[in-house]
Structure 1
Amino acid sequence: MQYFKKFLFLFSAFFISYPLVAQEKAASKIYAITHVNVIPMDTEQILENHTVIVENGRITRVAPSAEVKLPQAAEEIDGRGRYLIPGLTEMHGHIPGEDRPQYVEDVLFLYIANGVTTVRNMLGNAYHLKVKKKVERDELPGPKIFAAGPFFNKKLAPTPEAADREVRLQKEAGYDLLKMGSIDKETYERMAMTANEVSIPFGGHIPEEVGLIGALDAGQRSIDHYDRYVEFLVPDDATTEGVSAGFFGSGLIQLIDRSRIPEAVKRTVEAGTWNVPTLSLIEHLASPIAAEKMINRTEMKYMPEDVLDGWLKFKNTYSKRQDFQPEATKALVELRRELTKELHDSGAKIVLGSDAPQFFNVPGFSLHREMEMMVNAGLTPYEVLVTGTRNPSLYFETPEEFGTIEPGKRADLILLNANPLEDISNTHKIQAVIVKGKYYNREALDKRLAEIEQAGKD
Structure 2
Amino acid sequence: MSVWLRALAAASLLAAGAVGAQPTSAGQPAGTFAFVDVDVLPMDRDVRLASQTVVVRDGRIVAIGAQDEVEVPADATMIAGTGKVLMPGLAEFHGHVPGGDDPAYVADTLALYLANGVTLVRNMSGDATHPELRARIERGETDGPTLVVASPWLRGESAAAVTAEVWAHHAAGFDLLKLGSIPADTWPAMVAAANAAALPFAGHIPEGVPLETALGAKQASIDHLDRYVEFLVPPGTDTQGREAGWFGSGWVQWTDRGRIDDAVKRTRAAGTWNVPTLSLVEHMASSEAPEAMLQWPEMRYMPAAERERWRRAKHEYATRETFQPDAAQALVQLRRDLLKALHDGGAPVVLGSDAPQFFNVPGFSIHREMAMMQAAGLTPYEVLVTGTRNAAQALGTPEAFGTVEVGRRADLVLLAGDPREDLTHARTPLGVMARGRWWPREALDARLADIAERHAK
Q: In which range does the TM-score fall when normalised by the shorter chain?
A: over 0.9
Deviation at 1:196, TM superposition (A): 1.3
Q: Distance in 2 between matches of 1:101 and 1:25?
A: 17
Task: Map 1:22-421; keep pairs closer than 5 Å.
Answer: 25-153=27-155, 157-421=156-420
Letter in 2 for 1:238: T
Q: Distance in 1 between matches of 2:26 and 2:349?
A: 32
Q: 1:29-64: CA deviations, max 9, x gaps? A: 111001111000000111111010010011001101
Q: For residue 98 of structure 1, give the secondary structure of its aligned residue in structure 2.
A: coil
Q: For the Cα contact (< 8 Å) 1:418–1:429, is it kept in 2?
A: no
Q: Distance in 2 between matches of 1:407 and 1:434?
A: 15
Q: For the Cα contact (< 8 Å) 1:281–1:358, is it kept in 2?
A: yes
Q: Distance in 1 between matches of 2:306 and 2:371?
A: 24
Residue 438 (structure 1) aligns with: 437
Q: 1:64-86: CA deviations, max 9, x gaps? A: 11111210011110111111110
Q: For the Cα contact (< 8 Å) 2:29–2:140, is it kept in 1?
A: no
Q: Distance in 1 between matches of 2:198 and 2:454?
A: 42
Change (3 A) 1:289 1:257: same
Q: For the Cα contact (< 8 Å) 2:19–2:111, is it kept in 1?
A: no
Change (3 A) 1:393 1:17: closer
Q: For the Cα contact (< 8 Å) 1:184–1:207, is it kept in 2?
A: yes
Q: For the Cα contact (< 8 Å) 2:20–2:143, is it kept in 1?
A: no
Q: For the Cα contact (< 8 Å) 2:351–2:387, is it kept in 1?
A: yes
Q: How many matched pairs?
A: 440
Q: 1:404-450: CA deviations, max 9, x gaps? A: 00011111000000110001121114100001011000111111111
Structure 1 residue runs of 5 or longer lacking an equivalent are 1-15
Change (3 A) 1:240 1:429: same
Change (3 A) 1:51 1:17: closer
Q: For residue 350 of structure 1, give the secondary structure of its aligned residue in structure 2.
A: coil
In the superposition, the TM-score normalised over structure 1's length comes to: 0.93
Q: 1:306-363: CA deviations, max 9, x gaps? A: 1111111111111121111111111000000001100000100100000000010000
Judge which range, 349-358 or 96-105, deviates more. 96-105
Letter in 1 for 2:293: M
Q: Distance in 2 between matches of 1:255 and 1:320?
A: 21
Q: Distance in 2 between matches of 1:51 and 1:438?
A: 17
Q: For residue 163 of structure 1, give the secondary structure of its aligned residue in structure 2.
A: helix
Q: For residue 67 of structure 1, give the secondary structure of its aligned residue in structure 2.
A: coil
Deviation at 1:22, TM superposition (A): 11
Q: Distance in 2 between matches of 1:84 and 1:25?
A: 25
- Aligned-residue sequence identity (percent) comes to 51
Deviation at 1:379, TM superposition (A): 0.4
Judge which range, 225-234 or 93-102, deviates more. 93-102
Q: 1:81-113: CA deviations, max 9, x gaps? A: 111110111000001112221111000000011
Deviation at 1:457, TM superposition (A): 2.1
Q: Distance in 2 between matches of 1:395 and 1:80?
A: 33
Change (3 A) 1:267 1:35: same
Q: 1:103-127: CA deviations, max 9, x gaps? A: 1100000001111111011021221
Q: For the Cα contact (< 8 Å) 2:43–2:404, is it kept in 1?
A: yes
Q: Distance in 1 between matches of 2:20 and 2:150?
A: 31
Q: For the Cα contact (< 8 Å) 2:19–2:443, is it kept in 1?
A: no
Change (3 A) 1:282 1:19: closer
Residue 12 (structure 2) aligns with: none
Q: For the Cα contact (< 8 Å) 1:25–1:438, is it kept in 2?
A: no
Letter in 2 for 1:447: A
Deviation at 1:136, TM superposition (A): 1.3
Q: For the Cα contact (< 8 Å) 2:123–2:147, is it kept in 1?
A: yes
Q: Distance in 1 between matches of 2:279 and 2:178?
A: 20
Change (3 A) 1:286 1:24: farther
Q: Distance in 2 between matches of 1:19 and 1:286?
A: 35
Q: Distance in 1 between matches of 2:203 and 2:46?
A: 30
Q: Distance in 2 between matches of 1:309 and 1:22?
A: 29
Deviation at 1:184, TM superposition (A): 2.1
Q: For the Cα contact (< 8 Å) 1:24–1:439, is it kept in 2?
A: no
Q: Distance in 1 between matches of 2:24 and 2:183?
A: 50
Residue 6 (structure 2) aligns with: none
Q: For the Cα contact (< 8 Å) 1:192–1:219, is it kept in 2?
A: no
Change (3 A) 1:301 1:352: same
Deviation at 1:19, TM superposition (A): 11
Q: Distance in 2 between matches of 1:71 and 1:24?
A: 25
Q: Distance in 1 between matches of 2:51 and 2:116?
A: 24
Judge which range, 44-53 or 186-195, deviates more. 186-195
Q: 1:218-265: CA deviations, max 9, x gaps? A: 111100000000101111231124200111000111111111111111
Letter in 2 for 1:239: D
Q: 1:275-305: CA deviations, max 9, x gaps? A: 0000000000011111111110011101101
Q: Distance in 2 between matches of 1:64 and 1:318?
A: 54
Q: For residue 369 of structure 1, give the secondary structure of its aligned residue in structure 2.
A: helix
Q: Distance in 2 between matches of 1:67 and 1:368?
A: 35
Q: For residue 308 of structure 1, give the secondary structure of its aligned residue in structure 2.
A: helix
Change (3 A) 1:241 1:19: closer
Change (3 A) 1:23 1:60: farther
Q: Distance in 2 between matches of 1:21 and 1:198?
A: 31
Deviation at 1:403, TM superposition (A): 0.5
